[in-house]
Structure 1
Amino acid sequence: MKRWLAVSTLLFTLLATLFALPEAYAAAKLSDGTYTVDYSVKKAENDSASMANDYFEKPAKVFVKNGEMNVQLQMNHSKWITLFKVPSGASFVDAPVVSSDKAEDTRVVSFKVDDLSKPLLSKIHVTVESIDYDHDYTIRFVFDEKSIKNIGASDAAAAKPAVEAPAAASSSASKVVEPASKQQPTAVVKDASAKKALTAAAGSQAASSADKSKPVVVNPQTGDTAPITMLILLLAVSGMFLGYKINSRKSKV
């Protein structure tokens, strides 16, 4: 009877710990510093990968200062993404540009994020003149918390946007249509070679993203590599054993 009680208590404690751990991890706050985090870009209406996933370089950087998180990421094919907006209160605003490279056709943007465990809704406008492609999309950035890696102390200067306006948007991009599911892309190909180049560029970017490693740090909040799960399990087992001893003594009395 006592053995059955001990085993039942242990199983219950382990299950409760495993279910509570993800929530506790998500609720934890990153300490001040600079991190990298992997992410994917998904459609607004479901968990399918968005076409825009191949336009963003992985991983992103996260700058934490006084508890405030700012994500910094690079856009590839910058000329195609003529508008990029992120949440600000009840509306969306243009994400500040940190730097840009016209020769490489890239630009780096920075924006505030309150919780990396929640998808970040954003809006983009994609224009590819050579194939008469012009559409608005609502997308979601989904961050992989398990990939967070501390890469150094906080660098406020690096996270500060440069005095530079975002890439000029076309007149047709002044309004954002949402949700994206109501307007599907129907590109009209006027130049076969341009279409081929577009497809090749997207495929190359996808392959590049797939080859990147995903470093994992068990405890990015402190930089400590001690396994949190093991510590919690040891505490749970210790508590169970102590309870078992107390019950044994009471039964003898």
Structure 2
Amino acid sequence: MKKMIQTSFMITLICLLTFVFIPQGSASAKIEDGTYSVDYVVLKAENNSVSMANDYFSKPATLTVENGVQHIQITLKSSEWIKELKAPKGGSFADVTVVSENKTADTRVVKFKVDGDLSKPLEMKMHVYIDSMKPVYDHNYTVRVDFKVDSMKKTGGTSETNDKSNGKQDETENKTQSGNGNKEGNKQVENNPKTGDQSSFVLLFIALFASGFFIIRKVNLSKQTN
């Protein structure tokens, strides 16, 4: 009997460890459609130290999610110095899209599709050229943009939702949406929906059920033998 209890305990322990350490990245990475502000920091390629390039990036960034597709929009400062900026795309890197540029303020708004997991630092390639420096500063390097997913706040809906709020619905419905929008705008986004929690409880239930079934079966076999 003692050996049977020890075996049951080991099975339960293994199941519980599986429950605790099972990856749940797919659930936490899912972000519902909408527009969000998200803070971030630019890190060096080789370690988690803040890169000097961090000062060229205005915070926060804007994240737009539509039909599950994520796009990041960032405002660059001292943009005249930034000759090239590339984001990950299909295992390589591609130039970001220029949305707008202000020569007077020396800023540039750029946009790129998120190709990867936003909860992990994204590598980006930069070319900085400063001809006013002596000697001229001309350097290509890699940085990692670390988006603080926990800081995300919803600021609006998708383009379809925004169109509706601009007059495609009746006045009563617009008022209702406006009220809900204000509440959502001040609410911090939960990146891990209930799907992950439900999966965890299911795994725990299976572990306990398997352990109980094993004990009952052993007891019954022991009685039959005796």
The normalised TM-score by structure 1 is 0.59
Q: Evaluate the alpha carbon distance shift between residue 248 and residue 20 of structure 1 in structure 2; reply closer, same or farther with a 3 A threshold.
A: closer
Where do 5+ consecutive residues of structure 2 fail to align?
A: 163-187, 221-226
Could you say which structure has the higher helix fraction? Answer: 2
Structure 2: which amino acid aligns with 1:228? G
The SS at the match of 1:15 is helix
**C-alpha separation in 2, matches of 1:240 and 1:138:** 49
**RMSD across aligned positions (CA):** 3.5
User: 2:196 corresponds to which residue?
Assistant: 228
User: 1:205 corresponds to which residue?
Assistant: none
1:120 equivalenced with 2:87 (yes/no)? no
Whether contact under 8 Å (1:86, 1:123) holds in the other structure is no
Q: Pick from 199, 205, 210: which aligns with 1:238?
A: 205
User: 2:167 corresponds to which residue?
Assistant: none
User: 1:13 corresponds to which residue?
Assistant: 15
Q: Pick from 141, 144, 152: which aligns with 1:141?
A: 144
Q: Evaluate the alpha carbon distance shift between residue 3 and residue 150 of structure 1 in structure 2; reply closer, same or farther with a 3 A threshold.
A: farther
Structure 2: which amino acid aligns with 1:33? G
Q: Evaluate the alpha carbon distance shift between residue 12 and residue 97 of structure 1 in structure 2; reply closer, same or farther with a 3 A threshold.
A: same
The SS at the match of 2:62 is strand
* Aligned pairs, number: 190
Q: Alpha-carbon deviation of 1:70?
A: 1.6
Q: Alpha-carbon deviation of 1:135?
A: 1.8
Residues 173-214 of structure 1: CA deviation (Å, up to 9, x unaligned): xxxxxxxxxxxxxxxxxxxxxxxxxxxxxxxxxxxxxxxxxx
Q: Larger Cα Rg: Structure 1 or Structure 2? A: 2
Structure 1: which amino acid aligns with 2:139? D
**C-alpha separation in 2, matches of 1:66 and 1:250:** 49
Residues 108-143 of structure 1: CA deviation (Å, up to 9, x unaligned): 100122213462332222316155542222223333
Q: Pick from 157, 160, 166: which aligns with 1:153?
A: 157
Whether contact under 8 Å (1:146, 1:217) holds in the other structure is no
Whether contact under 8 Å (1:32, 1:64) holds in the other structure is yes
Residues 52-102 of structure 1: CA deviation (Å, up to 9, x unaligned): 022112332222233332211111222332332335568755422222344
**1:1-253 equivalences in 2 (<5 Å):** 1=2, 4-25=6-27, 28-87=29-88, 93-115=94-116, 116=118, 117=120, 119-127=122-130, 129=132, 132-144=135-147, 146-147=149-150, 149=152, 151=154, 152-155=156-159, 217-219=190-192, 224=193, 226=194, 228-229=196-197, 231-253=198-220
Structure 1: which amino acid aligns with 2:10? S
Whether contact under 8 Å (2:27, 2:196) holds in the other structure is no
Q: Evaluate the alpha carbon distance shift between residue 88 and residue 22 of structure 1 in structure 2; reply closer, same or farther with a 3 A threshold.
A: closer
Where do 5+ consecutive residues of structure 1 fail to align?
A: 159-214
**C-alpha separation in 1, matches of 2:147 and 2:8:** 37
Q: Alpha-carbon deviation of 1:246?
A: 1.1
Q: Evaluate the alpha carbon distance shift between residue 15 and residue 138 of structure 1 in structure 2; reply closer, same or farther with a 3 A threshold.
A: farther
Q: Evaluate the alpha carbon distance shift between residue 102 and residue 5 of structure 1 in structure 2; reply closer, same or farther with a 3 A threshold.
A: farther
Q: Evaluate the alpha carbon distance shift between residue 45 and residue 149 of structure 1 in structure 2; reply closer, same or farther with a 3 A threshold.
A: closer
Structure 2: which amino acid aligns with 1:20? I
